[in-house]
Amino acid sequence: MIVISLLHALEGYTHDNWVYKNINVNFSRLYYVIDGEAYYEENGKTTRLKKGHLYLTPIKKTFSLYDNPNNKMLHTFSHIITMPAVSAFTEIEVKPNTPLFDAVTLYRKYIHSDQQVLTPVIQFVLSCLDLSNTEKNPIATKIKQRIDDFPTFEMNMSTLSKELGYSREYITRAFTEEFRMTPKQYFFIRRINEGLRLLSQGKSVTETSDILCYSSPFAFSKAFKQHFGLSPENYLKTIQPLQNVCP
């Protein structure tokens, strides 16, 4: 499992009125519960989020999250987009003297770091969950790395083919077999997720569309709604940050 985008991260208590009722979003929440009381509900089944456990929420599934307002949950969390996407609610106990325990310790230590530092730490956490889609094709990995290294958010399959020395057809086939999506689909997701990250940092739609090399703000907004199901303005309203009350 690969982290495509890190949208938000913090350690703290759940904010006042921490209730997300029947939400359906395109990112996963990675929670490590330190203390307090909160619940996850899906298809009529309710699960208490336990102290010392790690949780991943699925994308494009309807679920609810809520806490006990008299015993707010203290947790380390991040909003992430992964490939492949998280398809089911996941609960794992973090036991001492295990690689996962070490990974979660680093997760807490670096939770306030910038994206460049924290993303590899989250990747380490995910690798310890035994949920990873192990890469077997080094060529597919090379293709992905080249797409990730594009200096601008523009993609041309002919240029990619020339740089890597493989035909466009082979590049598409190798990448799709490994990652279950085409290079163009991966680039689109990476680009639009970067747009969400920029918007969540306060960039305007116009600024974001320019940075991501869209032809116009309208073109970016259209692509954003196509992927997330809401306009940029309305989608941002669904992401309510936690109040950071930890040192």
How many Cα atoms sit within 13 Å of 48 on the Cβ side? 9
- pLDDT value for 172: 94
pLDDT at 246: 37
Peptide bond into 247 cis (omega under 30): no
What's the pLDDT at 159?
87
Q: What is the pLDDT of residue 247?
A: 33
DSSP 1: -
Which pLDDT score, from 0 to 100, does residue 168 have? 92
Give all domains of the chain, ordered by start, each with its CATH number.
Answer: 2-132 (2.60.120.280), 138-235 (1.10.10.60)
pLDDT at 114: 87
Q: List the pLDDT tens digit at each of the 247 positions of the chain.
A: 788 888 889 999 999 989 999 988 888 999 999 999 999 999 999 999 999 999 999 988 999 999 999 999 999 999 998 877 888 899 999 999 888 999 999 999 999 998 888 999 999 899 887 544 445 678 888 898 888 888 778 888 998 899 899 999 999 999 988 877 899 988 888 888 888 888 888 899 999 999 999 999 999 999 998 887 788 988 777 654 433 433 3
In the chain, which residue ranges form alpha helices assigned H by DSSP?
Answer: 99-109, 115-127, 138-148, 157-164, 168-179, 183-200, 205-211, 217-228, 232-236
Helices 157-164 & 183-200 angle (0-180, nearest 10): 110
